[in-house]
Homo-oligomer: A and B are copies of this chain.
Amino acid sequence: MTTNLSVNGNRLWDTLMVSAGIGTGPRGGLRRLTLTEPDRVMRDQLKAWAAEGGYPLTIDGLGNMVLRRDGLEPDLPPVVIGSHLDTQWAGGRFDGILGVLAGLEVLRTLDDLGIATRRSIEVVNWTNEEGARFSPPMLCSLAWSGQATPDWVENRRDRDGIRFGDALDGIGYRGPEPVGGRTIDAYFELHIEQGPALDRAGVPVGIVTGGYPSCGMRIAVEGATAHTGPTPMSERHNALVGAAMVAVAVNDIGWAHADTDAKATAARLDLVPNLPGTLSEYAELFIDMRAPKLETLETMKASLRAALPDCAARSLTQISIAEEWGFGVFSFDDGLIGLLRETADRLGVPTMDLRSQAGHDAYHVARVAPACMIFTPCRDGITHNEAEDIALEPTLPGVNLLLHAALARANR
């Protein structure tokens, strides 16, 4: 097998910089929320690149976009490389984007060198990975993998009450293909690490063995409106105060387990009516907790459950867990992880094993197909921030690992 085969780094960087110009944020990152106008422009660009490369493009009923480079035996289940082109509200230029455009670069490299593969290779751009507009994140790989119906997805609403289905139609990216239900041979997702481990260790590649056991909760706090002035302290039922107590408790729980690299976050708080002069009658707090070990996460969840009645009693409100979800408790495919290790060895690329602390579409795909992930370094681990940055040089070993591993799998 060859080892001197490599992607065109400059071309990859150029495509990344074209993307970085679409939906640029106020501080030089990206604000390209899913199914908005910048997302449409970026999708049009991907479509143009597909046409330019001669890669047939298909789009399913949730806007998931698939570019395909046909193999010699096109009826065989394909090898799929994917990630997402949507970003956070204060997003970086590489989170997700690198994975899609590295996949495009793999197709282009194979074309440059006239390499035919036995299986077809596809590149997918998943809709609404970030969850910054429609909740939950990884929404369309969830449906693709059969864990939610397209109908349920279409009826999710953003903060302004806009339906996912209407937003999808609004940018013209509802396609005719069915959502999921396909057999694929393997799924590769390359992603920036979104943590500091690779950058600090000076190692270019992380082989992702699985996720961090994680949970999310929507916590509801019920109070009552009243005047902020005359109402005695003992007759106040201020939902804002109840939610603030829970937010502090969540943060304390994160710190209590920080030595295990666990985290707990109070991420979003919605208040009604949220006006000066009036106590809040309702609050919704979105939290998440993550830990390397499931037993740590379970301890954290138990601590939170124990804290809620205390917060309710001190704030004279009613507090309940309105919704709860979990993810990250799984491992990626042993065969693919083995392939990544062997390929990296052959290429002389140093690697380290990592578990992913962020959610990824690969988590959902792993439910129905062999899947794996490659992490590349991310400066100081900064992400979900416009200052997110990478350098090309330490990124290329990961992209070349993707090229070689996908090629090997496509010729299987």
Contact = CB atoms under 8 A, between A and B. Distances in A.
Interface of A: 88-90, 130-132, 135-137, 193-196, 212, 214, 216, 224-236, 238, 240-241, 243-245, 247-248, 251, 254-255, 258, 261, 263-271, 273-281, 286, 288, 290, 315, 357-359, 381-386
Contact of A275 (B132, B226, B228, B254): B132
B276 A231 contact: no
Nearest to A256: B233
Pick the 10 closest A-B CB pairs, nearest first. Answer: A195-B230, A244-B247, A244-B244, A230-B357, A228-B265, A229-B358, A233-B258, A227-B384, A229-B357, A89-B273
A244 to B, nearest CB: 4
Nearest to A359: B229
Nearest to A286: B276
A252 B126 CA distance: 47
Contacts of A273: 88-90, 132
Given A230-B381, A251-B238, A263-B231, A225 B88 contact: yes
Contact of A278 (B90, B233, B234, B359): B90
A382 B196 CA distance: 53
A228 B263 contact: yes
Nearest to A33: B275
A339 B242 CA distance: 46
A275 B88 contact: yes
